[in-house]
Amino acid sequence: MVGYAEALTDPSYNGQILTLTYPLVGNYGVPDPSVKDDDGISKFFESDRMQIRGLVVHELSLTASHWNLTMTLDEWLYNEKVPGISGIDTRELTKKLRTSGVMMAALVVSDTEIDVEKIKTELASATHYNSEQFMDVVSTKKEQFFGQGNDSVVVVDTGTKNAIIRNVLELGYKAILVPWDTSYEKIMSYNPKGVVLSSGPGDPQKCSNTIDTAKQLIENNIPTLGICLGAQIIGIAGNTETYKLKYGHRGQNKSCINLENNQVYVTSQNHGYGITPESIAKSDFKLWFTNADDKTVEGIKHKKQNCIAVQFHPEASPGPFDCKFVFDELKHLMEK
Amino acid sequence: MPKNESLKKILVLGSGAIKIGEAGEFDYSGSQCLKAIHEDGLNSVLINPNIATIQTDTRFADQVYLLPVNPEYVESIIEKERPDGIMLAYGGQTALNCGVKLDESGILKKYGVNVLGTQIAGIKRTEDRQLFKDSMNECRVPVLKSKTVTNFEDAKKAAEELVYPVIIRVAYTLGGRGGGVAYNEIELHEIVERGLKASLVGQVLVEEYIGHWKQIEYEVMQDYDGNNVIVCNMENVLSMKVHTGDNIVVAPSQTIDNHEYHMLRSAALRATKHVGIVGECNIQYALDPDSDRYVAIEINPRLSRSSALASKATGYPLAYMSAKIGLGYNLSELVNRITKNTTACFEPSLDYVVCKHPRWDFAKFELVNRRLGPTMKSVGEVMAVGRTFEESFQKAIRMLDIGNDGLVLNRVNGKEYTEEEIEYKLSHHDDQILYNVAIALKMGISVERIYKLSTVDPWFIEKIQNIVTLEDRLKKSELDESLLWEAKKLGFADKQIARAKDKTPDEIRALRKKLGVIPSVKQIDTLAAEWPAVTNYLYLTYGGHSNDVIIPKDERGIIVLGAGPYRIGSSVEFDWGTVNMVWGLQENGEKHVSVVNCNPETVSTDYDICTRLYFEELTQERILDITEFENPKGIITCVGGQTANNLTPGLAQHGVNILGTAAHDVDRAEDRSKFSAELDKLHIKQPLWQAFSNLNEAKSFAQQVEFPVIVRPSYVLSGAAMKVVWSQEELKTYIKEATDVSPDHPVVISKFMLNSLEVDVDGISNGKQVVIGAIVEHIDSAGVHSGDAMMVIPPWRLSNKIIETITEYTKKIALTFNVKGPFNLQFLVHDDHVYVIELNIRASRSMPFVSKLVKMNLISLAAKAILDKPLPQIPENKWQKIQNYGIKVPQFSFMQLEGADIALGVEMQSTGEAACFGTSFYDALSKGLISVGYTLPDKGTALVTVGGAQNKEKLVATIAKLKQLGFKILATEHTAEFFEEKIGQIEIVHKISEPERKPNISDLLYERKIDFIINIPSTSTLEKYVDMLDDEYQIRRKSLELGIPVLTTIELADSFVKTLEWLRNNKTTKEPIEPYDKYD
């Protein structure tokens, strides 16, 4: 019900047609995309453009009301040239996705009658989501620097959200955003206090360069935090396996248990892949967080090295701030 | 197992009688709490004098005490039962306040009783204004600028510093009682004085006023380990201006963005952790509509009306979970009751929009101020679920059962206003505010202007615009499939569409079905279909194209209709009836019993009670939709009060099988002419009456039988539009009113018999056998509405002969009308003659009272009767064999209703009731009176003002007794003169209208020199409308506002004084009620 401005610009959703379970969408409109914070990061969005390929909702609010809006969701979609459809029984669609898993889909708009068979054929021959190469699309092409300060943290951009950078800055470090395939040596040339492997779309196995980098980060005991896709990459680097979830975890209300103190936190999540629970035992990691409902892996800690990773989004935006302390953990590792 | 293994027996405090601000929601929360305790194999003891509740059945609780919830009585039960834990969060402010006092007086410590859940220190941090402010500052949650004061001088200083307008809030109170907005010093004085008196601790808060800010609420769960989640957030459509209890509320919030949502969410978690909430709490915020500035207004450290709403809105059983946490469980150990396999430590996601709408009953009260503001005035509420705001909102209006079919296209539509008038109305909220927004839009006033005046967020105004626009299109365009879909998605009822197209609702229904425009049945599953959920919690919507559930072809169950919103005259007793009917059917072998109801403050809408729960409208259209989907064996309409009962003829006409008494037999009882003809055949008398066909005939009838007469429509419960009329002029006005309320049914005028006794009989029949529950006598004389009268079992003024006659009549009538199920008969006893007033073939208000006293669950027996099973052999005088006296006492909420007169009449005005049992009449009565808020002083001063010679004469013995008991008696001149002659010295005091004459009543009231007042309005309670004496009204109103008991009927005054006498030499008994007898 809240968070569409953030979700639609989250690079992790790149390449996807997104449906929202809450039936009324666009109520509070869309804020001004040109507004930047003091560090030059977009103030209200998670990247510089809408990342989704299409939007499916039950009711699109054609009027909106909020002190901070500059346009309606409809106008924003139009400006970004992203198609959407409303009037859909999104609950029924959700049930379909729940039972059949996420699937390839076509969103067709036409003044004339739609030839369903033809569309099906086209869809069948389209590039499958699983085999899409997202990194070229979502990752920064060149290094970017944010914030002031003496010490810095390198954020490896596999499709990062602005909120990750904002959180690094809040810790009191400069943030250096580097392309997804930046080598370990190149990263170390910035002399960072630590490294964050960001979230992002798609299968972690497709990021072999980042996996190699992660291996070296661990080996050299560089304080490292992995988030979402970054967590899976770290997992693979430390000998866990990953798999594709049937319909993933997407939402702002996912409960995770911190196994160190048995506290439960509500987290924001958006991932289609995960670390195989059974593979933890023989890996270099111990389990840190687990999903309270389906017991999937939500966080891991390296047994010896300064390396931690969470499957959920501690940076929130959209979603709850309950797990911001994960960034404090990184800081702790960096200052140790 | 619970973490706290030391617990064995737990005391739960209820909320007492239903009043404005404390209603049936506490039956829901208390029942869930008891259920949670029971499940863990622990013993539970409940104290609650609200007899009409499910929790006071001995089903969930092991011991039930129908006793006042005050420290004195609770202590005596603690001493007797020795519980090791106490739950304070399930009985509203009453239980919470009582718990704080028990702690302060050291009673909890003395008996080693542990407070389970939020500790007293935590409760104080939320309830005491200054402590609250300090706590919020400590955890970086902003609060409003304000100052706590204990006298007017300080209040004045504070108001000047903060700049007017300021809002005054009262510490330790409920429903915002006694608070108000002051725009100047004069208003400040009035509100502060009243507030200081209403506060238990004599303090009020003066605060900057932020009426136009958004009012947002969060429901928080937290366990002993500090795990916490937000279960629901809600937004109030009418901003901060209107108390949330009187507000139209949506869940989830609609107009705040991700940043604001989570900013407030984090603050809620921070605040509740800091004050130490364990279990459930509600936190209320004000949010600036022009920035992200916010302040926390208050935290309720207990279950509340909002939490009941949140439970029903999300499917997350907050009260149950909260009780489990109180027992020591950790949130992550508890399981989501809907999915049965996911954790309770999560935040529900909704894929629908919920709209709560309050129900007001202003029409019942003379002189009442209808303005909505910081004091809650509504008596009940409904909750609607839909997939658009418009759908939910228009459904909610229909659920209110106030004769409207939606926001527009009603039978009676809004008046015409000038621009000036409508602008005034938009800025001064009353119960018509959103109708007025619609009118303003039709007048072409801009959304922006309406927002500025009304502070209703433009988003909601735009939604109302959608409804208004569609109304116009319905009128002007051809009704094709797409327009029908659009209308239905925006919540238009067939009746509304029919009105626009000048067709009948049946024609629209037929057209819809032909075109396939039918609603879908969707689940409320706490997680928006993301996980599979085997939930039976359902609603219907046009925002979908497929059903979530399938009913197996061979499964043919029974549907029980609930009672809709609580209102004056239809309250928790009908929820008790609904739930007991479900259980009764199940106990008699029915496997599939579903419920339809729309009141979030009920036990009947707990989804673990029945096979399928439809949180839906109780309208013909919707019940037909549901029966078409369910294909049930039959449907039961006789336990849901008048709302359900009124649907009977229409449903029967549409081929729905009504279980219980046949529709045409019900009609024979409801139709006055038919009913009268039957009684004539049985040679049973009734007061002279006539059905009205035109005004002149009515006038001549009234003249013939002599005024006063009673005017009423034939199909209306609880005296809506029922009036005692004393003159031709009045007759004209009231007949018009009565025909407005019930246009399809004739108006009946009957002779009003002064000086007679009223008697109720509750019973069950299966058409062959008749079981009499009890004969119940009204203590007040006829003319006081039966819902407002004190009642006693066994009757204490009726002769054996009269009782025999009534028993005989009852049996004859029940059999003549082929009653199959519950019925209630009302008699009038006048000069030793028995007259029948009316027969209600349905569950009645007094059935829980009768059932519990006589230990015979009438609704269980009704279930047998309805299923055509033989009734057990029960002697017709079973009720006479009961050793105890039972007395039911009404609870009034006049304090909430600014301006309302408290003198009783034929319109029902009480909001609830308490009943207590005892070994004698006065044993039961004294406990009953204390339960509804009377203090029974053993010494002090009484003011007596009695109008009319006859009344004075009747009170001589009473006043003499009072004097004999040592009370000082004050009276106004004429009254004093009269009594002095008979009983000696009486002090004269002067009327409020003569302030220059001293001693003056007004001063004495303010100085608290009067302990109680006997104020019998002139000549008769009923003539007050002809020539109401302002002075008497002033006395009643002022005393009420100052919390001084006023006795306004002769019978009450007499009983009250005799009770004081009884208490001199006796102590009240404190025994638990006994369980119902078992019948196979």
Q: Which residues of A touch B530 (CB under 8 A)?
A: 21, 94, 98, 251
pLDDT given at position B1026: 42
Q: What is the average pLDDT across B512-539? A: 94
Size of interface A-B (CB pairs under 8 A): 149
Contact B544 A91 (CB under 8 A): yes
Q: Name the least confident of B309-313, B480-484, B993-997.
A: B993-997
**Most B-contacting residue of A59, A86, A91 (CB-CB within 10 A), to test interface:** A91
Which runs of consecutive H residues, i.e. helices, occur in B353-457? 389-399, 419-427, 433-442, 447-454
pLDDT given at position B1020: 47
Q: Name the least confident of A51-65, B158-172, B579-593.
A: B158-172
Which of B265, B331, B349 is the closest to A251 by Cβ? B349
For residue range B819-832, what is the model confidence (pLDDT) as tens digits?
Answer: 999 999 999 999 99
Question: With bands split at pLDDT 50, 70 and 90, how would you rate the model's confidence at B740?
Answer: low
Residues of A assigned a catalytic role: 228, 313, 315
Contact A91 B347 (CB under 8 A): no
Q: What is the average pLDDT across A236-245? A: 96
How many CA atoms within 13 Å lie on the side-chain side of B732? 3
Q: Which residues of B touch A270 (CB under 8 A)?
A: none
The proportion of chain B whose per-residue pLDDT surpasses 70, expressed as a percent, equals 95
Nearest-by-CA chain B residue for A98? B530
* Domains within chain A, CATH numbers bracketed: 4-131 (3.50.30.20), 135-335 (3.40.50.880)
Q: What is the average pLDDT across B259-267? A: 97
Nearest-by-CA chain A residue for B269? A322
* Nearest-angstrom CA–CA distance, B177 and B160: 24
pTM: 0.93
Q: Name the least confident of B174-178, B345-349, B409-413.
A: B174-178
pLDDT given at position B746: 66
Checking if the pLDDT of B714 tops 80, the result is: no
Checking if the pLDDT of A132 tops 80, the result is: yes
Q: Which residues of B touch A6 (CB under 8 A)?
A: 258
Contact A98 B226 (CB under 8 A): no
For residue range B996-1030, what is the model confidence (pLDDT) as tens digits?
Answer: 888 988 888 878 899 999 988 765 444 444 444 67
Q: Does an H or E element contain A257, and which?
A: strand A242-258
Q: Which residues of B touch A272 (CB under 8 A)?
A: none
* Nearest-angstrom CA–CA distance, B774 and B851: 9
**Most A-contacting residue of B140, B235, B253, B258 (CB-CB within 10 A), to test interface:** B258
Question: With bands split at pLDDT 50, 70 and 90, how would you rate the model's confidence at B851?
Answer: very high
* Nearest-angstrom CA–CA distance, B170 and B195: 6
Q: How many Cβ atoms from other residues are within 10 Å of residue A58's Cβ? A: 25
Contact indicator for B9, B41 with CB cutoff of 8 Å = no
Q: Which residues of A touch B230 (CB under 8 A)?
A: 266
Q: Which residues of A touch B520 (CB under 8 A)?
A: 89
Q: What is the average pLDDT across A182-187? A: 97
CA dihedral of residues B1046, B1048, B1049, B1055 (deg, nearest 10): 0
pLDDT given at position B368: 80
- The angle subtended at Cα B277 by Cα B325 and Cα B84, nearest 5°, is 55
Residues paired with B792 in a beta bridge: B777, B887
Contact B225 A318 (CB under 8 A): no
User: Mean pLDDT score of chain B, rounded to an integer?
Assistant: 91
Q: Does an H or E element contain A219, and which?
A: helix A208-219
pLDDT given at position B720: 52
Q: What is the average pLDDT across A117-129? A: 93
Q: Does A148 touch chain B (CB under 8 A)?
A: no
**Most B-contacting residue of A30, A42, A65 (CB-CB within 10 A), to test interface:** A65
Which of B257, B289, B544 is the closest to A92 by Cβ? B544
**Most A-contacting residue of B530, B535, B538, B548 (CB-CB within 10 A), to test interface:** B530
pLDDT given at position B175: 44
For residue range B374-391, what is the model confidence (pLDDT) as tens digits?
Answer: 889 999 999 999 999 999
Å between B347 CA and nearest CA of chain A: 5
Q: Name the least confident of A100-104, A207-211, B95-99, B1015-1019.
A: B1015-1019
pLDDT given at position B375: 84
Checking if the pLDDT of B173 tops 60, the result is: no
Contact indicator for B645, B617 with CB cutoff of 8 Å = no
Q: Does A295 touch chain B (CB under 8 A)?
A: no
* Domains within chain B, CATH numbers bracketed: 9-116 (3.40.50.20), 145-209 (3.30.1490.20), 389-517 (1.10.1030.10), 521-659 (3.40.50.20), 933-1065 (3.40.50.1380)
Contact A1 B229 (CB under 8 A): no
Phi/psi for B697 (5° steps) reads: -60, -40
pLDDT given at position B905: 65
Checking if the pLDDT of A103 tops 80, the result is: yes
User: Mean pLDDT score of chain A, rounded to an integer?
Assistant: 95
Q: Name the least confident of A218-232, B71-85, B657-671, B809-823.
A: B657-671
Name the one residue in this structure whose structure tokens are 């099973």.
B869
Q: Is B452 exposed, middle or buried (0-12, 13-18, 19+ CB in 10 A)?
A: middle
pLDDT given at position B44: 98
For residue range B26-56, what is the model confidence (pLDDT) as tens digits?
Answer: 999 999 999 999 999 999 999 999 999 999 9
Nearest-by-CA chain B residue for A294? B342
Q: Which residues of B touch A30 (CB under 8 A)?
A: none
Q: What is the average pLDDT across B347-370? A: 90
pLDDT given at position B1023: 46
Contact A24 B544 (CB under 8 A): no
Q: Name the least confident of B309-323, B436-450, B520-534, B847-861.
A: B520-534
Å between B118 CA and nearest CA of chain A: 19
Among B380, B909, B249, which residue's Cα sits nearest to residue B643? B380
Contact B258 A90 (CB under 8 A): no
pLDDT given at position A326: 97
Q: What is the average pLDDT across B978-987? A: 89
pLDDT given at position B130: 85
pLDDT given at position B770: 97
pLDDT given at position A327: 97
Checking if the pLDDT of B433 tops 80, the result is: yes
Q: What is the average pLDDT across A277-296? A: 95
pLDDT given at position B532: 84
Contact B343 A251 (CB under 8 A): no
Q: Which one is predicted more confidently, A192 or B676?
A: A192
pLDDT given at position B116: 97
For residue range B185-212, what is the model confidence (pLDDT) as tens digits?
Answer: 999 999 998 888 777 678 888 988 898 9
Contact B262 A321 (CB under 8 A): yes
Q: Does an H or E element contain B208, and which?
A: strand B204-208
Q: Which residues of B touch A27 (CB under 8 A)?
A: 254-255, 459
Q: What DSSP character marks residue B831?
A: T
For residue range B1058-1075, what is the model confidence (pLDDT) as tens digits?
Answer: 999 999 999 999 999 999
Q: Which residues of B touch A252 (CB under 8 A)?
A: 347, 349
Q: What is the average pLDDT across B355-366? A: 88
* Nearest-angstrom CA–CA distance, B495 and B741: 17
What is the distance in angstroms between the CA of the first residue and the CA of the last residue of chain A? 41
Å between B454 CA and nearest CA of chain A: 15
Å between B271 CA and nearest CA of chain A: 14
Question: With bands split at pLDDT 50, 70 and 90, how would you rate the model's confidence at B836?
Answer: very high
* Nearest-angstrom CA–CA distance, B178 and B196: 8
